[in-house]
Amino acid sequence: MRRLVLMSCATVMLLCGASTWAQDTPGSAAPVTPAAAPAASAAAPAPADKPKTVEERLAAVEALAKAANDSVSENALNTGDNAWVLVSSALVLLMTLPGLALFYGGLVRKRNVLSTMMQSLMIACLVSLLWAFIGYSIAFGPGATETVDKKDDQGHVLKDDKGVVQTETKALPSASFWGGFSYACLDHVITDSSRTKVELSTDKDGKVSIKTPPGALVPGAYAPYCASINHGTYMLFQLMFAIITPALICGAYAERMKFSAMCLFSSLWLILVYCPLAHMVWGENGFFNWNFPAVKSAAFDFAGGTVVHISSGVAALMTALFLGKRKGYPHTPMMPHNLTLSFTGAMLLWVGWFGFNAGSALQANGLAVIAFANTHFATAAAAIGWPLAEWIFRGKPTVLGAISGAIAGLVAVTPASGFVTPMGAIALGFVAGVLCFTSAGVMKHRLGYDDALDAFGVHAIGGMWGAIATGIFFSIDTNPAIQSANPDLYISIVNGTTSVVLGQAKAVLVAVILSAVGSSIILAAIKYTLGLRVTKEQEDEGLDLSQHGEEGYVLSG
Amino acid sequence: MKMIEAIIQPSKLEAVKESLNEVEVVRLTISDVQGFGRQKGHTEIYRGHEYTVNLLRKVKLQIAVNDEFVEPTVNAIIKAGRTGEEGKVGDGKIFIMPLQDCIRIRTGERGPEAI
């Protein structure tokens, strides 16, 4: 054992010595010293007639690396990236089915467990179909464009050699908010309608030959979103986000909303609130999308703090206000009926969230590693913060507090995961845990609204903190994409002319207003037509029996 | 014949069963019940919302016995069902009721024979 330790010490010392030497040599162009020569020649035997300096070798290696790098970006599609994002998509679905269904299912009373799980499932199915028909197109289409004459800096119209006026395509202002219908029914995404059908031709001798149309059956990458994965992969990944967002709102209206009204609300909300907001933050030509240099007001939302959590959390508050309190709230005890289900669901959410955040790098690269690490460390800190606050202020650290803290941390680190360092993420997560303990445990009771499972208290409050904290803990070189995609923005942030926190606050405000107004209009429309709430008798009986004719737990059998 | 119903602390079930076994009472029915009495309740906190839980979990034993078994059964339950030497509020109660008849379903026997 001692020998082993000694050996490793010696190795470390050797390595240190070697690196000091390496630092000394570059620039001095000294010939390779005899001591280091055997190792170097073993790695890359140099031609005997032409001894090379270390500098020359280094240049050769760098050139090789650069060539390899260039060839990667030229061969756009990357199977590793594609695989990672497809797996991430499945992980994000795991968050809703069964993660969220179990988490929420355990938190309601026994008589509503099935109806709560059913809400997650039906939202997943409805959103999937809507997404394929028009949802993806509205959120991620390029929006309305116009063709204009190309002009130079002095305003002269540019012409080519033959005197033909050159034109370019420009996005109209509406393209900042609405993606349009060019990808409806997944055209140009999973299939391509411009690809003509296979034709058979018969020559003079009566020999039949097949004429295969040009182009691929499944479209390849779409560079504005990600150059190394299929456009279809990106669409699927985004679909899973679109599923969980309306499903999160269930937490506020649980135990009292009509099934039919729930289906209608979720569908309308997806099209009128989620899709435009997703377009603004992530879509091509989107209002806040910093990936496009023409952006007016950059906001940094790595994986959906504003789009997913603030929007759903604020909509949740609106549903709670429009529906009113559950019968008997807050005097009748409404304890979670099965915290073991909730525990299982919450921990599945944690696992699935790695797809949500680290998958949002869209490549299996270093950025994905950073996002993965930030997600994990922030969550661990938050899952300590909430029960610790309980321990201090209420006497005991509860299990529900710990799992709620984990969710709060995941929510808060979502926008930050690709823009901060793990130490920032830990601070951000811990604060999120304590803050959401306050919003769900104190603020809600003071204000008196019945957000049944704290969708507002955790997702909106945690989401807002996360968005602002992304600005506070912003570490610009964490995400190399900022510099490469938008150098002007990068420079203005570094020299201090652009305030990240201010930009974040602006995006938060827009998300809050859009979601509050959009949700209110939809809720009001449903309230005065279909009706939002079940009858008092149905509420007493429980939604499982009254809406679905089943019970989650039966005595005999 | 008597029907003995005892409400006891859930944690004492194993001890009471053993104690009954010692006096050769080996037929009983057990159910989970909830109730309240002098013991009052306790508070539970879920996300900062405090609930007073005054329905406490207890275990109910139902034992049908012939008359000569009544006292040994009662003593066995008292001996094993007490918390500590002195016993505590919440240790439960024993009720003794007259039993009109008893029928063994398998054979159709009636009365003390069937117990």
Residue A387's SS3 state is helix
SS3 A245: helix
Which chain A residues touch B44 with a CB distance below 8 Å? 335
Distance from the Cα of B60 to chain A's closest Cα (Å) equals 18
Percent of chain A predicted with pLDDT > 70: 87
Q: How far apart are the CA of B46 and the nearest CA of chain A, in angstroms?
A: 7
pLDDT (tens digit per residue) in A87-143: 999 999 999 999 999 999 999 999 999 999 999 999 999 999 999 999 999 999 998
Residue range A93-143+222-548 in CATH 1.10.3430.10? yes
Residues of B with CB under 8 A from a CB of A: 44-49, 51-53
From B47, B48, B51, residue closest to A333, measured CB to CB: B51
Residues A253, A274: Cα–Cα separation, whole Å: 18
pLDDT mean over B27-49 = 86
Among the partner-chain residues A330, A333, A404, the one whose CB lies closest to the CB of B47 is A404
Q: Which residues in chain B have their CB less than 8 angstroms from residue A454's CB?
A: 47
Contacts of B51 in chain A (CB under 8 A): 333, 335
Query: B63: which residues sit within 8 A by CB, 6+ positions away?
Result: B3, B4, B5, B6, B20, B25, B27, B28, B29, B73
Q: Mind listing the pLDDT tens digit for each residue in A434-466?
A: 999 999 988 998 899 999 999 999 999 999 999
Nearest to B62 by CA among B100, B24, B30, B107: B30
Domain span including residue B19 = 2-114
For B55, nearest residue in chain A (alpha carbons): A333
For residue A213, how many other CB atoms are within 10 A of its CB?
12
Best mutation target, B32, B44, B47, to test chain A (most A CBs within 10 A): B47
- Whether residue B47 and residue A401 make contact (CB cut-off 8 A), yes or no, is yes
- How close A402 comes to chain B (CA, Å)? 10
> In chain B, how many domains are there?
1
Q: Give the pLDDT band of residue A520 (cuts 50, 70, 90).
A: very high
Our CA-based measurement puts residue A397 at a distance from the nearest CA of chain B, in whole angstroms, of: 10
As a three-state string, the secondary structure of A143-173 is CCEEEEECECCCCCECECCCCCECEEEEECH
Are B47 and A454 within 8 A, CB to CB? yes
Q: Is the pLDDT of residue A306 over 80?
A: yes
Q: Given a cut of 50, is residue A41 above it in pLDDT?
A: no
Q: Which of A338, A445, A446 to mutate to test the interface with B (most CBs of B within 10 A)?
A: A445
Which CATH number do you get for residue B35?
Answer: 3.30.70.120
Q: φ and ψ at B65, to 5 degrees?
A: -135, 155
Q: Pairing between strand B92-98 and B2-8? A: antiparallel
Average pLDDT, chain A: 86
Distance CA A241, CA A92 (A): 7
Are A445 and B45 an interchain contact pair (Cβ–Cβ within 8 Å)? no
**pLDDT higher than 50, residue A14:** no
Separation in Å, CA of A319 to nearest CA in chain B: 20
pLDDT at A29 (0 to 100): 38
Range in A263-267, A298-302, A408-412 the model is least confident about: A298-302
Banded model confidence at residue A37, pLDDT cuts 50, 70, 90:
very low
Instruction: Please state the domain extents for chain A.
Output: 93-143+222-548
**CA nearest A140: which of A184, A76, A104?**
A184
Structure tokens belonging to residue B2? 């008597």
Cβ pairs bridging A and B (under 8 Å): 30
